[in-house]
Amino acid sequence: MFLLFKRNSDGSKALVAPMRYRTIAAVAAAGIAACSTASDAKFHLFGTAKPKARTQVEVRRPIGPQPVPYHWTQGAAPQAHRDMVAEFGKVGLKPGQYVWASAAPAEGDTRIVVDLLTQMTYVYRGDRLLGASTMSSAKQGHITPYGFWSILEKRPFYRSKKYDNAPMPFMQRIDNYGIAFHGGMNPGYPASHGCIRLPMKFAEKLYAATRVGSKVVIEG
């Protein structure tokens, strides 16, 4: 192999590579660049490259049960459900089911909480939940009204003056129109003309626990 030199303007010598070596060097450089590009592509293919930033906003869905969307509530109905879970260990009841405490406090006023949204009725003695039951309120075209009420009249058996003399056992009326608690069918959805139908046994227990003047709140 012969080495070629050229003389610089200052008198020093500089090595001049033959043409074929310059060609080999250029090919080698191109090969290294190609290998580097292939390597980068491989890393991108298998996910080791840094991911691109997301352009869309990630929506996080809430975890766990969410608050029920009440139309009107003073907080009594949601609290009554929490009390049922704590007192009886029940998150919900099937149509026609109810729960009742084995012993009731000797003192304290009886009050009733009605939840139209979940179709549940709760009864308290003082601050303690005595019982809870499924119910059936007004179907479409009829109304079971929201608000604060009191029991105005009690009769162990009564018949409707408006709806075909229908039986209303353990009737407890709360307004002048005729809305009342009473025993009746519980299909699992609103189906009455406005009254609050209860399982027969629960209606009987509720009748025994209340008096004329007992407070009622209807939410939903």
Q: Quick one: 131 and 206 in the same domain?
A: yes
Question: Is residue 191 assigned to a domain?
Answer: yes
Q: Quick one: 96 and 32 in the same domain?
A: no
Q: How confident is the model at residue 56 (pLDDT cuts 50, 70, 90)?
A: low
Q: How confident is the model at residue 5 (pLDDT cuts 50, 70, 90)?
A: very low
Q: What is the pLDDT of residue 63?
A: 58
- Total domains, the chain: 2
Percent above pLDDT 70 for the chain:
70
Question: Is residue 146 assigned to a domain?
Answer: yes
Domain containing residue 97: CATH number:
2.40.440.10
Q: Quick one: 80 and 189 in the same domain?
A: yes
Any idea which of 51-65, 102-116, 144-158 has the lowest mean pLDDT?
51-65
More confident of the two residues 162 and 16? 162
pLDDT digits (tens, 9 = 90+) for 60-114: 655 555 677 999 999 999 999 999 999 999 999 999 999 999 998 888 999 999 9
Question: Is residue 36 assigned to a domain?
Answer: yes
Residue 192, strand partner residues: 138
Q: Quick one: 104 and 29 in the same domain?
A: no
Question: Is residue 35 assigned to a domain?
Answer: yes
Main-chain phi, psi angles of 194, to 5 degrees: 140, -25
Q: Quick one: 24 and 113 in the same domain?
A: no
Question: Is residue 60 assigned to a domain?
Answer: no
Q: Quick one: 95 and 175 in the same domain?
A: yes
Q: Quick one: 194 and 115 in the same domain?
A: yes
Please provide the DSSP assignment of the chain as one string.
Answer: ---EEEE-TTS-EEEE--HHHHHHHHHHHHHHHHHHHHHHHHHHHTT-SPPPPP-SPPPPPP-S------SS--SHHHHHHHHHHHHH--S---TT-EEE-SS--SSS-EEEEEETTTTEEEEEETTEEEEEEE-B-B-TTS----EEEE--EEESS-B-TTTTT-B-TTEEE-SSS--EEEE----SS--BSSSEEE-HHHHHHHHHH--TT-EEEEE-
Any idea which of 8-22, 104-118, 165-179 has the lowest mean pLDDT?
8-22
Neighbours of 84 (CB within 10 A): 20
| Domain that residue 18 falls in | 4-45
Question: Is residue 66 assigned to a domain?
Answer: no
Question: Is residue 59 assigned to a domain?
Answer: no
More confident of the two residues 96 and 57? 96
Q: Quick one: 116 and 190 in the same domain?
A: yes
Q: Quick one: 110 and 32 in the same domain?
A: no
Would you say how long the chain is, in residues?
220
- Whether residue 154 is predicted with pLDDT greater than 50 in this model: the reply is yes
Q: Quick one: 111 and 186 in the same domain?
A: yes
Q: Quick one: 38 and 85 in the same domain?
A: no
Question: Is residue 65 assigned to a domain?
Answer: no
Average pLDDT, the chain: 82
Q: Quick one: 158 and 211 in the same domain?
A: yes
